[in-house]
Amino acid sequence: MMKEMTLHEIAAACNGDFLGNSKDLNNTIENVTIDSRQAAKGTLFVAIKGERTDGHRYIEKAFEQGAVCALSEQVISSEKPIILVRSTTQAIKDIAEYYRSLFENIEVVGITGSVGKTSTKEVIASVLEQNFVVHKTKGNFNNELGVPLTLLAMPEDTEIAVVEMGISGFGEMRRLSKMARPTVCVFTNIGNCHLENLKDRDGVFKAKTEMLEYKEDDSFIVVNGDDDKLAALSEADFRFGLNSGNDFYAENISADGENGISFTMCYEGKKVDAFINAIGSYMVTNALAAAAVGRAMNMKDEDIVKGIASYKTVGSRASVITTDSFKIIDDCYNANPASMKAAIDSLTSMNGERKVAVLGDMKELGDKEIMLHGEVGFYINDHCVDVLITIGKLAKTIGECASSVEVHHFDTLEQALEEIDTILHKNDTILVKASHSMHFEKITEYLKSL
């Protein structure tokens, strides 16, 4: 149950005009949604005008399902209360900022970076849950709608909120941080992503570190010290990474394919053995970030280790699916050059008669997109990949630069689905990865059916 918040407080927070019986101003809400299908007793329904549909069309449906009030940009003829605002997308951010202010003693861990935000968020939450009541971002609900909805879903008893914060342009992180007011700022890395807006890694660094403008006083800043941009951040309190020069680093890393990774964490003069049930050495780095946050919260070593071991993969993020025909690394949620290379590392660490990479376009890379796709192809040349299947106009460059492997290219997903089974062999280990807009989840589902 969320903290009590009246319709009067909500209207004041978003500078909205209350349309309805004044006696209803003292009514309270129990949850907030932008999806009328999730509206129920005590709900505040926020009507968002999107690209595909307009939430204002569903206000009456939300009321029928029990909504207490609707936030609207339009005057709606209704017996139920309406809060009229100029912009519902701005209003929900204003309300979330106010709601966050009601939690005076809460810790908020803000997590951003080019790669690994969601998996880092999950392992940090897994660690903190050993000692605290934790509320975390659902899935990757990390944008200017996802972050306010995450904050507005905080139960009253929340002790620590773990909030993933994703951006694609300048100014967005400033707005997210203004809502979340992080007490711990975690930066996973600075990579080549969203270059259409951010131009280069310096632009990515500048945009990501806008988080620091609204951090709370006496906050902790935790950064990946293996990243050259972040390592130079003078305000950092803790640096984590595989390099022994970091405050939190790892030794004795032993990856056993899909059976997880054991390693020794080194920090504060101690060596602590740990295990994470995941693939990819980058997950050790994520675990080190979680250890740093745990120590910032004064957690004991044994609880940090227990939390890391409790981590579970989420969605299509490097999860391993074993079928009668194949072993599939389902990593098709999103992709950029760094995560592509990390996924190739994971593929080559696995068992299997042949290693097959099914790779698609990486989006939003700006004028460097051809070069960055080519880099992935050259990277494949130095790794033990047997077959490369590329799909999409940009991904074709990956295959053109991967001269050491057997390459098959398809212009469209539909073409690939028609022929991919003729390329694959029984017992292949197959990596499936591309930007989310390529809809490679269809490939994963098809492979599971073979």
Is residue 270 a part of any domain in this protein? yes
Return left, alpha or beta for 262; rule: phi > 0 is left, psi -120 to 50 is alpha, else beta.
beta
Residue 12: per-residue pLDDT: 97
Helix (H, G, I), strand (E, B) or coil at 389: strand
Q: Could you list the mean pLDDT of each consecutive 10-residue stretch along the chain, which spans 450 residues?
A: 94 96 93 94 94 90 94 90 96 98 96 91 97 92 94 97 94 97 97 82 94 94 97 96 96 79 96 91 92 98 97 73 90 84 86 90 89 94 93 96 94 96 94 92 93
pLDDT value for 389 = 97
pTM: 0.84
265 in the same domain as 154: yes
Identify any residues that bridge with 409 across adjacent strands, giving them in sequence order: 390
Query: For the domain that residue 393 is a member of, what is the CATH number?
Result: 3.90.190.20
Number of other CB atoms surrounding residue 207 within 10 Å: 23
Cross-strand pairs, 279: none
Q: Is residue 98 part of a domain?
A: no
Whether residue 419 is found in the same domain as residue 338:
yes
Which CATH number covers residue 155? 3.40.1190.10
Q: Are residues 403 and 422 in the same domain?
A: yes
Say if strands 43-46 and 69-72 run parallel, antiparallel, or are unpaired. Answer: parallel
Q: How far apart are CA 97 and CA 102, in angstroms?
A: 9
Residue 398 covered by a domain: yes
Domain-located, residue 165: yes
Looking at the structure of the chain, the number of domains it has is 3
Residue 61: give the domain boundaries: 7-85
* Amino acid sitting at position 128: L
From 309, 335, 350, give the residue that closes a domain. Answer: 309
pLDDT at residue 101, rounded to an integer: 97
What is the distance between the alpha carbons of residues 340 and 336, in angstroms, rounded to a whole number? 6
Residue given tokens 């080019």 in the structure block: 114
Tokens matching residue 409: 């290219």
Give the per-residue pLDDT at 316: 55
70, 47 contact by CB (below 8 A): yes
| Same domain, residue pair 70 and 129 | no
Domain boundary among 284, 309, 334: 309
Residues 151, 195 within the same domain: yes
Residue 93 in any domain: the answer is no
Domain membership flag for residue 94: no
What's the rounded Cα separation, in Å, for the pair 423 and 449? 16
The C-alpha atoms of residue 251 and residue 92 are separated, in whole angstroms, by 45
User: Which of 85, 111, 141 is a domain's end point?
Assistant: 85
Using a CB cutoff of 8 Å and minimum separation of 24, what contacts does 76-80 make?
80/20
Determine the Cα–Cα distance for residues 445 and 262; give it in Å rounded to an integer: 30
pLDDT attached to residue 258? 66
Among candidate residues 306, 316, 368, the one with its CA nearest the CA of residue 337? 368
